[in-house]
Amino acid sequence: MIEQSTAPDDDDDVNQQKNTWTKRAWWRRPGCLIGLGIWFAIVIFVFFVIILLARDEITISQGNAPNQQIRVWLISEPDQRGIGFSRTSLQKGNPDEVLCVQTHVNFIMWQGDGNNSIDYCECYAENENSDALRLTRAESGVCTPNR
């Protein structure tokens, strides 16, 4: 007669642990998600740099107002090298003006000295002869009504 052992085998425990790990989906592992996020960020950064080098600037429209856009461009002057970033926001102007576009510009320079940031304002009014807006004033600094 053959005796059967009722004690659990060590092999059964190992197999049960392996099954637990293999059943767990890859997206439920935090290390995989972090690695995938880092890889995706690197791919997007490389894509962004290649487009910037090929076109010298990237613009993204923010609305229908003139010059209302996000812009990134390369600065390639003989004595200055770097990248410029600009973003805009709409502001209220004088009562006779339809709108003002406030632009904030930042620079990252790796050669030469440059102003780190610049603000300027462009205000527009309706044109009587067409649907296009006409520039009524442009000034450095932040937009302030009634100037």
29-81 confidence digits (pLDDT tens): 778 888 889 999 999 999 998 999 899 899 999 888 888 899 999 988 888 88
Shared-domain flag, residues 50 and 74: no
Q: Tokens 């450095």 identify what position?
A: 140
Burial 39-50 (b: 16+ CB within 10 A, else e): eeeeeeeeeeee
Return the closest-CA partner of residue 47 out of 107, 55, 87. Answer: 55
pLDDT higher than threshold 90 for residue 136: no
Exposed, middle or buried by CB within 10 Å (0-12, 13-18, 19+), for 85?
middle
Residue 147 covered by a domain: no
Shared-domain flag, residues 50 and 65: no
Shared-domain flag, residues 37 and 83: no
pLDDT of residue 71: 94
| pTM, entire model | 0.65
Q: Of 7, 36, 55, which residue is a domain's last?
A: 55
Shared-domain flag, residues 127 and 94: yes
Shared-domain flag, residues 72 and 131: yes
Residue 114 covered by a domain: yes
Per the structure, the count of domains in the chain is 2
How is the beta sheet containing 57-61 ordered, strand by strand?
57-61, 69-76, 81-91, 99-111, 117-126, 133-140
Q: How confident is the model at residue 145 (pLDDT cuts 50, 70, 90)?
A: low
Question: With the C-alpha atoms ordered 126, 128, 133, 136, is the resulting torsion angle positive or negative?
Answer: negative
